[in-house]
Structure 1
């Protein structure tokens, strides 16, 4: 089956929502995100953005096109085959950061504060201090 035919063909996902097969495949890959993220979080300045993007992609209120882009970015982070291998010191995660930054520039408006809060909780990061009015 061609890639175009695979994208068009749909399968039923969680909550009886029809998801393109590519999104379903990326969602399966992205499930490996949390273990890998926890292993390397200390070396990633963008770890909270990546986790927030993952939570946004899993949110049923996030539009399908945004889910596809966010799951694609998370799946790229998890995939062992990379443009720049993650083990290269100093450069290993630059391609992952670029993919995530591009994804967030396109669909970042769908990453809500609730997703960012979940990401901070996962990574044991403090909540930001809010100025009192």
Structure 2
């Protein structure tokens, strides 16, 4: 199953909004970084395809670890998103990071970027 076929902008925003608190900051921030990277005209088609596959996995109801599983339900999603981020990192620029941080702050509050410091690495 190609997860990129599971992706749509509407399904992404619906899943991200509905699961933001349950999925957590790291998962949502990673997904937002990828989403905004696809919006850049400079991002090549191959990178967008990889990102759509990762975001498709995120929005899909078929998961390796079901999202309803307490504590670890989004670990597989985070892993897939992290792989896509590492493959497409060259296309994640400061504008993408800023948009993702702003949306993250909308949903989690300003402290979302400094609570544990792990999101700070995406600022560079």
Residue aligning to 2:37: 56
Please identify, of 85-94 and 44-53, the stretch whose mean Cα deviation from structure 2 is larger. 44-53
- Cα deviation 1:81-121 (Å, max 9, x = unaligned): 11111000011001100101111111112111111211222
TM-score scaled by structure 1?
0.69
After superposition, residues 1-133 of structure 1 pair within 5 angstroms as: 25=5, 27-28=7-8, 30-43=9-22, 44-46=24-26, 47-123=28-104, 124=106, 125-126=109-110
On the 8 A contact 1:27/1:71 being kept in 2, the answer is yes
Shift of 1:58: 2.4
**RMSD of Structure 2 on Structure 1 (CA):** 2.5
Q: Which has the higher contact order (CA 8 A, sep 6+)?
A: 2
Aligned residues: 107
Shift of 1:27: 4.7
SS in 2 for 1:102: helix
Alpha-carbon distance in structure 1 between the residues aligned to 2:64 and 2:30: 20
**Bigger Cα Rg:** 1
Q: Structure 2: where are the runs of 5+ without partners?
A: 115-124
Structure number with higher strand proportion: 1
Structure number with higher helix proportion: 2
